[in-house]
Structure formats: structure tokens, C-alpha cells
Structure 1
Amino acid sequence: MNVTLISHACLLIQSRDTTVLTDPVFFDYLWEECNIQCPSIDLDRSKMPKVDVLNISHRHQDHFDIRTLAYLADDSGILAPDAVVLAPRDEILLEVLSELEFKNVIVVEDFKTLEIKGLTLTPTPSLNQQDYFPEHGLLVHDGDVTLWNQVDTIVSPDIIKYMHRLYGQLDFAHVRYLPLLEGNFSFHNALELPIDEYSSFLKVAAACRPKFAVPGSAGFKYRDEYGFLNQYSFPTTQEQFLRDLKDFCPDINSSVFYPGDRAIISKEGVEIQKSSSDFVKIRDDDGHKVEFKPVAEVPPIRTRTKDKAEHEKQWEAVVDFIENRFVEILVEKKAVQSWVDWKVAYQLELFGQDGSEIWCLDFAGEDANIIKGRIGKINIYEGIACSELYSLIQNETSWDFVGINGQYRTFNDIYRVRMGEFEHWTKKDEKFPQPLTEVFPAGKEMDRTKFMLDVKRWKGKKGVETGS
């Protein structure tokens, strides 16, 4: 069995007669166009072998890239005519595949084995509770050797024991290594290596105890104006993880694994052939640009709208929303009771082309009225670019973009003082409600709108924008 890394979590797995493609991302930009592949790649799609099985692990946009999927569905020549698509039981994901007119879609079930053209494919479960939609890893067995693509799944000792019961010691594992801190900067969360999560990756690798392991599923960076976030989001490297894995579990053989590298897997062992692919190679080895330094310079928030007339139109619409509709919507939310109970002083700062303006709302007061300017206290702060708030109002964006691009920033310091008492909000497992995220709630409807806009944009375009 041969495995080629194309980029990030996109693997091309080849047995004697069958080719599997996982989580394909062929183009820049990706993930709401905040990110690009890192290292950057040159991909000659005309040289790719025919794909018999397309596996989609879950709906995160660095694994479920609509532009690439639309390209594959549009008679790209990459998918074999009878290609099978493996997908989780995810209503929105399946709706997108249907809109893109994919055929032969099989909804996978945990540990329910599929026999396809001489390969035994076994989806593995995830215990991830952060997302409301399912995901799966994948065991691939060709009769001689077995590999496991963990992707982003969270697994338990019992899951690993069952994998061993099915296939014995795994020959090759593409394991998690990087705890991503996307959004931590914007939401004022910890900007440091999360030790519990990171150590869990080492423990999973040790419990899995494959003959050979490579780090996987982390191959992108923020682009252009979002680039400052690279120093705040990626707290480790493949090299660091492998050094730690060597100390933690010395008997696991391992190697870095970058785009264009091939793993030749046999009963005798694993050979990593560096930069040996004939269809994908690294264009620019720019991994140093994501070196973790969470003390780097941070630019101020500024609207992304460049045209002055368009900005003025957006600013007028957003100010009208803040001053005439915002409070009316807020007071209907269940969260208003928390804001009143904790006597929250809320500040909203709107950033334009040349500065910002501030509005406040004092939930300790008699009336819930929006106040232009400061009130001398802040318990919850939300700063946002005019372009982002305008897009939220127009239902043209989602928190998957706004929450990770640095154009929205928030913090809170929730406490209340009573006669002789001081109380601080300490529920670490429960987020205190934020006004903007209450007014524009994330969830299925926002996600469905986001993905269907992408389907409309890319379907039938062969990966190229109309007119470009």
C-alpha cells in the first residue's frame, strides 16, 4: 500500500487495485478564504490516478471544501465513473453532496466494515463533543497491511482496543499532533500550548502503538491581512511532536510527512520517500511563517471594505441596526436575564476605514437603552469591523469566518458586587453569553446558508470563478 500526502488532511491511498482520496482540498483559498495551504503546493491534477473511493470525514471546511468537491463532481476526470463517496450521517453535508450531484454516496456507521474493490474500509468513531455534527476516522486494510487515518477524531482506549481486535497492530497511523488555537485570539482565550489536549495526542499514539506514525491534519496558514494570526494559532510543529513522541514512546518509528512525500507500507515495514510524488510537490517551504510567538505585533481592527461609497452605505446600515434594532432583539433573548443578574456593562465598538465608534448598554440600569459613547465600565466588550457586522446583518457570513479572522475581538470580566459581597463568574465549562453571538446565533441554519452559498458559487465552474 502507498500513501501520498497532497496537503493538510488530503491523502491519496493506493492499493494494488483501488485508490482512496480523503478530505480533498486542491485550491487556495480555503476555510472562508482566510487560509491557504502551508506549505504551499503545486498539484498537477492531470497526473492523479483515478479515484475509486472518496472519503469525507466531517464538515469542517478544511476537510469539506466545496470548491474542490464541485470540481470533482463536475466530470474532472479524477473520480472513476463508479466511484463511491463515504460520508458521515450529517444532514447538511449530505444535502451539499446531493446539490453537487454526487452519486453512490454511502453513509458510514462506526465500525461497520465496507468491502470495496479488494479493500476493507472501517470507519472509526469520534468522541468529539465540541461540534454538533459527526466525524469519523478510517481504517484501510488491503489484506496485507492496515493504516489508520485519525483525522480530527477523539478516541478512547476502548476504541483503540477494538481497532486492535479487528486488525492487530496497525502498520501505519496518520495521527493528530497539533491543537489548533483558531479563534482563541478573537475570543480572548488562552494563547499557549494546551497541555492536556497535546498530551492526549501522545497518549493516543502510544495506546495505538502502530509500527510507524506520521503527524497529520495540519497544513494551512492564515493569508495576507490575516497573517498575524499565524503566530497565535499553531502552538507546535511536526518536528516538536515527533521529538516528544520519541521520548514518550520510543518503540514507535516515525517521520515528518509533508506534501509530495510517499509512504510505502508493507509487511516488512514503512519507507518514507521524500518529495517522490509525480503529481504534487512543495512550491514554497514556508512553515516558518506559522512559528508560534503569541506576543507578536497585532494590527487594529479595520473594515475590509475598500470602496468609500460602499463603506459609507454599510456604515449607515450598521449604525441604523445598532441604534434602532439591536436592543429590541437583545431583550427578547433568554440571555438577557444573565446580563441583568450580573449587572453587565456592555460595550460595542464598530471599526470603519478611519477609526471606530462606541455604543454601550448598561444592564444594571432601569431601562435597556443603547448609549452612544462610553459609560466608564466594561464587563463585556465586542469589537467588530463594519464589513463583518454588515455581513452578519445581511446573512452573508458566519462565525466560522468572523470568529477566526481577527476582525472580531471580545473579552469579558463578569462580576457583581452586593452588600459586603463580591462574586466572580467562574463557570469555566459554560460560556457567558455574548450579545452579538446571541443576536446572530451559530448553528445549523447559519451553516446551511454558508455551504449553499458556496455550492451556488462553485457548482459547474470547474474550480474557476466565472470571468476569471
Structure 2
Amino acid sequence: MLKTTLIGHACLFIQSRETNFLTDPVFFDPHWESINVQCPERELKLESVPPVHILYLSHRHQDHFDVRTLAYLKRHPGILLPETVVLAPQDEILLEVLKELEFDNVQVVNDFEPVRIRDLTLTPTPSFNQDEWPEHGLLIHDGEVTVWNQVDTIVNPQVIQYIHKLYPTVHFAHLRFMPLLEGNFAHHKSLHLPFDEYSSFLRVAQALGPRFAVPGSAAFRYSDEYGFLNQYSFPATQTAFLNDLHEFCPEIQSSIFLSGDVAEISPGHTRIQTQASPFVRVARDDGHLVEFKPVMEVPSIRTRTQDPAEQKREGEEVREFIENRFVDRLKSCETFEVWRHWKVGYQLEVFGKNSEPDIWSIDFSLPELQIQPGRPGRMNIYEGISCSELFNLIHNRTNWDYVGASAQYRTFDNIYRVSPGNFEYFPSEKKFPHPLTEIFPSSREMDREKFMKDVRRWKDHA
């Protein structure tokens, strides 16, 4: 028999007869650049979490790979044992963070290569996502029962076929159910339920055919400061997914699964014990805060810097950058001729402490490129950003994951050009380069620094 307890989001506490097993631990709120909190709100008694023999990390998204929690586990003996094995993907940044936090017994895992520890066989399953780093789901088998945790992975029929080759019967599955729209508001993308993605979750469930399934991951919301984004980011619910799953695959038993719920899984039966965990429970049902209503009022962008003297200093430096260095940086971009070709009218707004932003514009159709105060006659690309985050981008102190996900940056484009007798437009389904994201491109070093910043903050203080 296996028991799985949901601690929160993707963090599971799994027990076999001989082994305790922890996945993707996130113990503290807020997390992920202080943007997110667990939802529903939970109460977690850290002193009561049993010792674990295995710590499993699926990938390095910050809602799964939480540096503060990892630093806590390393600094506070009790949950991790001297012999605890850490299973992690072959990811240089993730492994570097573990090394900086002084983790021992780290074992790299690979797609479909089983790992035998105590009475468990653990088999990572691959993902076909678009990220540049590896990500895994996980099969857990104790000799009698098989559980699959899909985590955030994207799988194809061949993956499901191979799972069935290894284990013809999957007794229990934690399934993806939420097609997250994080960043869609900020980047002016569709706010409809992505039907192809959502229906793929149902098709995966049907192909896998577990005897019992629960919704997995996606148990978080934006914290109060960013709360308006909740209505723009979470287009599904556990209840809606389970209703759809019942219609699509009526043979699969299923249940809602919240923090503190425990699933007891045996070869012939699964029993869900609601709020049965001795160390975690739902503290408040605040699920209504993530009700999807992408038509509601949103606040303006505002600088995050609170100190007036710092606001002034940052504002002066940002203004100097825009008026004296911005155009030269644009000219050095590989996409400069693309903006020229489309005769782009560009508007940049920088938001300080007041609601009225500073506005600059560039007309890429002019022979001499200049940045001017005020609005352009035609706006093909708009970028709005808080002064604090543009300042941080200039100084390599932030990353686009945070800037975009927190809506401190917002953008849209309408790309077309007119010539005698001709109207030409750029396909809306394709991504058009925007000046700020070209000048400050996402990079491996930017991604690394967001984790190392947390290492410096939490290593000796968690």
C-alpha cells in the first residue's frame, strides 16, 4: 500500500511500508519571487513532518524548486536524514544551487531510468515542454501499487505506452488539470480557456486509464498585492475538471484533493481521507479569490520602490538611459532592421509612484532614429514598465519571469505597414520582437541569478 498526502501545490508526502518520500517542497508563503501563496490557505506544522528517506525535485520552476524551503531543510535537522537521497534532473543551475546549499547524496535521474531505493522503484517520465531545462513526472511502485505524478509535464502517446509497458495498471494518478495563463494578461495574449491544451489533459487521463485520479499541482494564487491577476490566470478549477473527467472517462474514479487530504492506495481500492494528515490542513477556503473573470478592472503599473529618495535616483537613471543610451542599444539588436522594415511606431511608458507615466516614442520609419518625449502618431508596439523594474533590468537585478508574471510589464502590438496599393500585416499568431525584451533578453545567466539571489538570502537565515 502507498499513501500520498498533499502538503500543497506539487508538494507530496508519500509513504510506503518502509520509505517516506517528499516531492517539490514549498513550505513557506509567499514564494516564487514573493508573488504567490498557497491556495487554499493551509496550516503546516513543520515540527510534525516525519523524516524522509527521499527528496525528489521535478524541475526548477520556482513553485517546485523553492530555495527558501531547501535552505530550511538543510539547516534544520529532523526532516532530512543523513542518508536521505536527493533525486534531481540533469540541470546545471539546479545542481549548482543544491551544491551551494551544501546538499549531499544528490543523484541525477534521467528519462525512464528506474531508481531503486529501499522498497520503492522510482521511474522519471519525460516531458515535451518548451523550456530549456529537463522536467520529469514520476512513477512510484512499491511492488504492488503504481502511482504516477504528472507534475507539470507534457506527454505524448508514446510516453503513456511506455508507462503501460512498465506497469500495465496505474492505480492512482496526480493529473494536470490547469492550463495556466500566467503572463497572458501582461503580454496581451488570449484569455480564453485554451481548449486544445485543456482537452489534452482529458485525453492523457483516458489513455493512461488510472483506476483513481486527483487533480495535481496548480494549488496557488497571486498574493494580495498582485491579486487582480488571479482573475486572469486560472481558467479551470478542480471541480470543473473532475466534472469534465467524469463525462470524458466515466470509468475513472476521482476526487478533489486538498492540502491535508490523504490517499490510501491498495491494489484493489483507493480511499481518500479528507483532512486526515497530522501535520498539514486547509486553514481557510479562499478558492473564490482565483475565480476566473478576465474582464475586471486592473490597477495601473506603479514602481515598487517605496523610499522617495530612491524613487528619485532610480527615475533619473532610467531617464538618462532612455534618452542617451536606448536608441544605440536598439541599433545593436539583430531585430533592428525588422522594426525598420515594418516602420514601427513605438511607445514606451515608465511608471513611477504617480498614476501618470513618463512617455517616450520612436518612429522607425524615419531616416534618423530618435527618441522623443510624448506619444507617436501611430502606435504599433506598446511597452509599459515600472520604473523600479526597468532600473533593475538595467542593473541585471531582476528577470522576465518576475517582471512579466507580476504585471510590472505590459505590452501589445499591432504590426502592419502600408505602401501604394498594398496593406501588409504581421501574422498575429507569431511572436514579434519588442524592444525591451530584445535589449534585455532572457538568458541562462539571468535565470541563474534569480536562484542565486535566493541562495544568498536564505542559505544562513531560513
Q: TM-score range by the shorter chain?
A: over 0.9
Aligned-pair CA distance for 1:45: 1.1
Correspondence for 2:255: 255
> Tell me, what secondary structure is at the counterpart of 1:200?
helix
Correspondence for 1:177: 177
- When structure 1 is superposed on structure 2, of 39-48 and 197-206 the one drifting more is 39-48
**2:154 matches 1:154:** yes
**2:111 matches 1:107:** no
Q: Distance in 2 between matches of 1:368 and 1:52?
A: 62
Q: Distance in 2 between matches of 1:141 and 1:54?
A: 16
> Tell me, what secondary structure is at the counterpart of 1:403?
helix
Aligned-pair CA distance for 1:303: 1.1
Correspondence for 2:25: 24
**Normalised by the size of structure 1, how large is the TM-score?**
0.97
Correspondence for 1:218: 218
AA aligned opposite 1:348: L
Correspondence for 1:45: 46
Aligned-pair CA distance for 1:192: 1.2
Structure 1's 78 and 341: CA in aligned 2 closer, same or farther, altered over 3 A?
Answer: same
Correspondence for 2:242: 242
Correspondence for 1:337: 337
AA aligned opposite 1:438: E
Q: Distance in 1 between matches of 2:135 and 2:44?
A: 27
Correspondence for 2:293: 293
Aligned-pair CA distance for 1:450: 1.0
AA aligned opposite 1:31: W
Aligned-pair CA distance for 1:158: 1.0
AA aligned opposite 1:255: S
Correspondence for 2:421: 420
**2:442 matches 1:442:** yes
Correspondence for 1:84: 85
Structure 1 residue runs of 4+, over 4 Å off? none
Q: Distance in 2 between matches of 1:113 and 1:405?
A: 38
> Tell me, what secondary structure is at the counterpart of 1:346?
strand
**2:60 matches 1:59:** yes
Contact 2:13-2:23 at 8 Å conserved across structures: yes
Contact 1:123-1:139 at 8 Å conserved across structures: yes
Q: Distance in 2 between matches of 1:177 and 1:82?
A: 35
> Which runs of structure 2 are paired with 1:290-439 in the superposition (5 Å)?
290-354=290-354, 355-426=356-427, 428=429, 430-439=430-439
> Tell me, what secondary structure is at the counterpart of 2:454?
helix
**2:16 matches 1:12:** no
Q: Distance in 1 between matches of 2:407 and 2:115?
A: 43
Q: Distance in 2 between matches of 1:190 and 1:60?
A: 23
Q: Distance in 2 between matches of 1:77 and 1:380?
A: 54
Contact 2:346-2:376 at 8 Å conserved across structures: no
Q: Distance in 1 between matches of 2:160 and 2:55?
A: 24
Aligned-pair CA distance for 1:443: 2.0
Contact 2:302-2:408 at 8 Å conserved across structures: yes
Q: Distance in 1 between matches of 2:297 and 2:417?
A: 34
Q: Distance in 2 between matches of 1:153 and 1:147?
A: 15
> Tell me, what secondary structure is at the counterpart of 2:405?
coil
Identity, % of aligned positions: 61
> Tell me, what secondary structure is at the counterpart of 2:14?
strand
**2:145 matches 1:145:** yes
**Normalised by the size of structure 2, how large is the TM-score?**
0.98
Contact 1:147-1:172 at 8 Å conserved across structures: yes
Aligned-pair CA distance for 1:384: 0.6
> Tell me, what secondary structure is at the counterpart of 1:95?
helix
Contact 1:32-1:400 at 8 Å conserved across structures: no
Contact 2:140-2:147 at 8 Å conserved across structures: yes
Correspondence for 1:454: 454
Correspondence for 1:466: none
Where does the alignment leave 5 or more consecutive residues of structure 2 unmatched? Answer: none
Contact 2:263-2:270 at 8 Å conserved across structures: yes
Q: Distance in 1 between matches of 2:74 and 2:12?
A: 18
Q: Distance in 2 between matches of 1:443 and 1:261?
A: 39
Aligned-pair CA distance for 1:15: 0.3
AA aligned opposite 1:15: S
AA aligned opposite 1:95: E
Deviations 1:374-425 (A, max 9, x none): 1211000000111111111121111111011122110000001112110111
Number of residue pairs matched by the alignment: 460
Contact 1:11-1:23 at 8 Å conserved across structures: yes
Aligned-pair CA distance for 1:427: 5.8
Deviations 1:305-361 (A, max 9, x none): 222111111101110111111111111010111101111111100111112110011
Deviations 1:100-159 (A, max 9, x none): 11111111111101100110000000111x211110000000011010000000111111
Q: Distance in 2 between matches of 1:90 and 1:157?
A: 25
Correspondence for 1:34: 35
